[in-house]
Amino acid sequence: MLFCTYNIHYGVGADGKYDVARIADAVAQADIVSIQEAVSGWSQNAFADQTAEIAARLNRYHWYHGAMEADASTVGADGRIANRRRSFGNAVISRWPIAWARGHLLPKTQLVERFDLQRGFVEAAIDTPAGPLRVYSVHLSHVGPQQRLPQVRALMEAVVNAERTGATWDSAGGDTFMFQERRPDVPRPAILAGDFNFTPAHPEYPLVCGDMSSYGRLGTVMHLADAWSAAGNSEEEVNSFPREGRIDHVFVTHDLAARVRKAWIDYGTNASDHWPVFVEFDL
């Protein structure tokens, strides 16, 4: 299985050109794609739904998009309201069915003189041929550790406690209710991927992967493994965003770490201001 995470910069490339087709082409080889900064309903790009466009171009129609929203409605000359929402958020696109999915909000503290926005992540349970898999598409604050540390703690609590929380509904509804199926299962293996806006040198990283010691990373069952390192790569001396270091990550539960075969960054595309990160799993 080939996995990819990509901050698509709302379709605007490093050359300043808007072209969603380039995004789709950059991730076309992947079976599952985690996307950040996907938008819909904005006048700047003719109100395009980018997640739907990418999925259609890949001929993969299993996708889920969760986002923050704002009003983009218009009122006609006759006074009728054309309701429209503009959104900015994360998505999961899959070659295989998404059994269930949901969006989560992360903590946010209002800043006085700096731009920030509501951050969150989407969670999707995917029925792969090798078995069910949880996938999270994440985008944390770009401002700094002050904003990100509470977000990482909330994120890790959601990931670690997913089985205790359960899926999107429990049991089955009554005879006259719409939910007649048994409750969905919560897959144990999980991939947590996206634009985290921190590198391994930042204080947020140990909250995910464990503290560094003379023995290496001291990951526990409450932590995740970095697929980049599991593939034999060095934690440092690599960029996924120019001049900022490796801030786009693919973290995995420890049962998947041993199945990582290769991880790389595609520096050959300029479809976004980030580069896509790929991880190959032997499932």
Take residue 260 and report the two structure tokens written for it. Answer: 């990582």
d(CA 119, CA 108): 7
Q: Is residue 112 scored above 90 in pLDDT?
A: yes
Q: What is the pLDDT of residue 73?
A: 87
d(CA 20, CA 10): 8
Take residue 5 and report the two structure tokens written for it. Answer: 């995470």
- Who wins on pLDDT, 256 or 172? 256
What does DSSP say about strands 131-139 and 190-195: parallel, antiparallel, or unpaired? parallel
Among candidate residues 29, 36, 46, the one with its CA nearest the CA of residue 10: 36
pLDDT tier, 14 (very low <50, low <70, confident <90, very high otherwise)? very high
Q: Is residue 167 scored above 90 in pLDDT?
A: yes
Q: What is the pLDDT of residue 46?
A: 82
41 φ/ψ angles, rounded to the nearest 5 degrees: 80, 20
Q: Is the pTM of this model over 0.85?
A: yes
Asked whether 90 and 66 are in contact (CB, 8 A), the reply is: yes
Termini Cα distance of the chain: 6
pLDDT, mean of residues 12-23:
96
Q: What is the pLDDT of residue 125?
A: 98
- CB atoms under 10 Å from CB of 186, counted, come to 18
Q: Is residue 174 scored above 90 in pLDDT?
A: no
Site of tokens 């269930």:
100
Q: Domain containing 264 — which CATH number? A: 3.60.10.10
pLDDT tier, 179 (very low <50, low <70, confident <90, very high otherwise)? confident
Asked whether 23 and 34 are in contact (CB, 8 A), the reply is: no
Q: Is residue 88 scored above 90 in pLDDT?
A: yes
- CA geometry: angle 141, 44, 144, nearest 5 deg: 10
Take residue 19 and report the two structure tokens written for it. Answer: 């072209």
Q: What is the pLDDT of residue 103?
A: 96
The string of pLDDT tens digits covering residues 225-283 is 999 999 999 887 899 999 899 999 999 999 999 999 999 999 999 999 999 999 999 98
pLDDT tier, 132 (very low <50, low <70, confident <90, very high otherwise)? very high
The string of pLDDT tens digits covering residues 198-224 is 999 999 999 999 998 898 888 999 999
Give the domain range for residue 82.
2-281
The total number of residues written for the chain in this structure: 283
Q: Is residue 191 scored above 90 in pLDDT?
A: yes
Total number of domains constituting the chain? 1
